[in-house]
Structure 1
Amino acid sequence: MPVSFPVAWEDLDNVSPADFTVHTAAGLLGERDPWVELMQEPQELPADLVEEGHTIPVARVQAMHEGKRRARARRT
């Protein structure tokens, strides 16, 4: 089963999602933490952007997730 795993831009052409599974990820980490190495420093979101996110109606969010669920079901 594939897992999310950070990959440096320069390595993208040399890897595929199948390279990172629940069985291989721990061994690929070793003693390093690629999330710390590759991720930018956290950024604070502007208050108005956060507030705008709070105004999205719950029904709209549920409809979005339902659409994604149906699309997944069609692909399988």
Structure 2
Amino acid sequence: MVGQSVIIAPSGEIAAQAVSLGDEIITARCDLDLGKRHRETIFSFAKHREPDACRLIVELKGALPSPEA
């Protein structure tokens, strides 16, 4: 990986970020209940899941031919 990795909280905020491009270990305290609260109130996967919108990604293997071909 290139570095400057980040750990992102369920809210989208950066919880921890690497400060260099070299090898580095970052840690952050994670509130697992906060993740559960976001899943239940802000983004319900079951409510927002649209399998038909992902069908091409799931079924396609390889690249699509270019329109010019």
Q: Report the TM-score when normalising by structure 1.
A: 0.34
Larger helix share, 1 or 2: 1
Q: Report the TM-score when normalising by structure 2.
A: 0.36
Larger strand share, 1 or 2: 2
Higher relative contact order (CA 8 A, sep 6+): 1
